[in-house]
């Protein structure tokens, strides 16, 4: 059956819960990042019929007799492919909330119809995976060594024997790079990248990026802090390593920056603060991790949080440390920050 629809704890665990990818990894006019792209579109062979080849961001080339039809993917990658008209057979990673609704990382997919191999960090049902007879496993990567995101260390060898894998890097590069890579991947899988729905989304993303660049230029004094909340700690992300923050910084956004020496403890991702010290940095806008593993702003009860100038001014917006890498899904995150910059009061 075709997988293409008509176009319509360890540090890794901390990262998954939110810590390093902004707590993000506990648990082209807009910037040139070609040096970090890992590979180019020329390394991909679209194969609607005949052999299929794709070189991933580890430098690994997957070769199959035909384009894979039975795909298993990390939920965020599956959501991006869905936007391009490509269906997957199974997913792993945060897919359903406790009440059975779609997790924020599931995008527009109907989660009631998905085969979920594991919904939380460390969960991956190898037997169920084998039963799907997958042609390929696709996921993201958030480190320099090419570790496959949400593939458990203890079962990775068994998983690797069942099907080849494709890794799309979301580490230390601007947002546009994984967007281009997933575009190339979808195209190789037979997606119609000339469909108006697809091309219109790309244009909207480019328009939103121009708007954010203009807003950042007009409001250089507005300081933005990327944060993530856990029960005992508040995480402040540095603007390096994360694809969204690197891109926003390239567009001119003025980020609060923990020192390199402090970030070193987390591999460069974030600084952890006690709630008593959450006011260490002054910010006019706070971008808060929207993943379900983290505490959302409305549920933060600490008095020190409520006293922050940005919080009192209502200048707190959502952030997606693990973006869904389709242009359609990345438009809102760019537009939201642009709007926040355009309307923010200087409170720091």
Per-residue pLDDT reduced to its tens digit, 116-173: 999 999 999 999 999 999 999 999 999 999 999 999 999 999 999 999 999 999 999 9
Instruction: Tell me which of 2 and 269 has the higher pLDDT.
Output: 269
Band of pLDDT at residue 44, cut at 50, 70 and 90: very low
Cα 193 to Cα 199: distance, rounded to the nearest angstrom = 7
Which of 5-14, 65-74, 269-278, 294-303 comes out lowest in average pLDDT? Answer: 5-14
Cβ neighbours of residue 143 closer than 8 Å, sequence gap 6 or more: 12, 171, 267
Q: pLDDT of 174-197, one tens digit each?
A: 999 999 999 999 999 999 999 999
Q: What is the mean pLDDT of the chain?
A: 90
CA dist 133 and 266 (Å) reads 37
What is the C-alpha to C-alpha distance for residues 18 and 9, in angstroms, rounded to an integer?
Answer: 13
pLDDT for 227-262, tens place per residue?
999 999 999 999 999 999 999 999 999 999 999 999
**According to the model, what pLDDT value does residue 50 have?**
87
- Residue 153: exposure state from Cβ atoms within 10 A (0-12, 13-18, ≥19): exposed
Confidence of residue 16 (pLDDT cuts 50, 70, 90): low
For residue 18, the Cα-to-chain-centroid distance in whole angstroms is 12
Is 213 a residue whose pLDDT tops 60?
yes
Q: What average pLDDT does range 26-51 have in this prediction?
A: 46
Quickly state the pLDDT bin for 25 (edges 50, 70, 90). very low
Alpha carbon distance 321, 300 (integer Å): 19
**3-class secondary structure, 119:** coil
| Positive or negative torsion for Cα 149, 150, 154, 160 | negative
Output the pLDDT for position 4. 57
Tokens of 84: 């391009």
Residues 6+ apart with CB under 8 A from 22: 226, 227, 228, 235, 237, 242, 245, 269, 270, 287, 289, 319, 321
How high is the pLDDT of residue 3? Answer: 57
Q: How sure is the predictor about 14, in pLDDT bands with cuts at 50, 70 and 90?
A: low
pLDDT digits (tens, 9 = 90+) for 77-104: 999 999 999 999 999 999 999 999 999 9
In the predicted model, what is the mean pLDDT of residues 261-277?
95
Half-sphere exposure of 148 (CA within 13 A, CB side): 26
- Residue 107 in this model has a pLDDT that exceeds 90: yes
pLDDT tier for residue 10 given thresholds of 50, 70 and 90: low
Q: Fill in the DSSP letter of residue 201.
A: H
pLDDT of residue 7: 44
Band the pLDDT of 12: cuts 50, 70, 90. low
What would the DSSP string read from start to end of 124-191?
Answer: --HHHHHHT--SEEEEEE-STT-PBTT--GGGHHHHHHHS-EEEEE-BSS-THHHHHHHHHHHHHTT-
Binned at pLDDT 50, 70 and 90, residue 27 comes out as very low
Cβ atoms of 326 and 201 within 8 Å: the answer is yes
The residue with tokens 């005949």 is 50
For 153, what's the count of Cα atoms within 13 Å in the CB-facing half-sphere? 7
**E strand map for 11-82:** 44-45, 52-55, 61-64, 71-74
Which residues are within 8 A (CB) of 201 and not within 5 positions of it... i.e. 6 or more apart? Answer: 83, 326, 327, 328, 331
pTM for the predicted model, two decimal places: 0.89
Band of residue 28 on the pLDDT scale cut at 50, 70, 90: very low
Q: In this structure, what token pair is assigned to residue 273?
A: 């603060």
């Amino acid at each position: 059956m075709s997988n293409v629809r008509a176009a319509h704890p360890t540090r890794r665990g901390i990262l998954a819960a939110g810590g390093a990818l902004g707590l993000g990894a506990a648990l082209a006019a807009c910037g040139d990042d070609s040096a970090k792209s890992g590979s180019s579109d020329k390394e991909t062979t679209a194969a609607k019929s005949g052999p299929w080849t794709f070189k991933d961001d580890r430098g690994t080339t997957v070769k199959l007799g035909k384009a894979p039809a039975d795909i298993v993917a990390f939920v965020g990658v599956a959501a991006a492919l869905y936007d391009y008209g490509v269906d997957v057979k199974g997913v792993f990673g945060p897919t359903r909330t406790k009440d059975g609704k779609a997790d924020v990382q599931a995008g527009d997919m109907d989660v009631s119809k998905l085969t979920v191999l594991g919904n939380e960090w460390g969960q991956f049902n190898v037997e169920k995976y084998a039963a799907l007879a997958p042609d390929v496993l696709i996921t993201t990567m958030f480190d320099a060594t090419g570790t496959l995101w949400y593939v458990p260390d203890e079962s990775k060898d068994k998983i690797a024997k069942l099907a080849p894998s494709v890794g799309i890097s979301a580490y230390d590069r601007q947002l546009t790079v994984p967007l281009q890579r997933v575009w190339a991947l979808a195209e190789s899988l037979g997606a119609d990248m000339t469909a108006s729905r697809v091309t219109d989304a790309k244009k909207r993303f480019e328009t939103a990026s121009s708007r954010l660049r203009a807003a950042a230029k007009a409001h250089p004094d507005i300081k933005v802090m990327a944060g993530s909340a856990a029960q005992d700690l508040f995480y402040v992300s540095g603007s390096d390593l994360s694809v969204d923050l690197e891109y926003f910084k390239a567009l001119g956004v003025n980020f609060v920056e923990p020192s390199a020496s402090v970030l070193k403890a987390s591999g460069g991702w974030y600084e952890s603060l006690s709630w008593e010290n959450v006011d260490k940095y002054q910010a006019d806008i706070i971008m808060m991790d929207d993943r379900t593993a983290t505490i959302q702003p409305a549920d933060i009860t600490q008095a020190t949080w409520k006293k922050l100038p940005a919080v009192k001014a209502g200048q707190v917006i959502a952030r997606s440390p693990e973006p869904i890498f389709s242009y359609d899904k990345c438009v809102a995150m760019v537009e939201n920050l642009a709007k926040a910059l355009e309307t923010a009061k200087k409170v720091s």
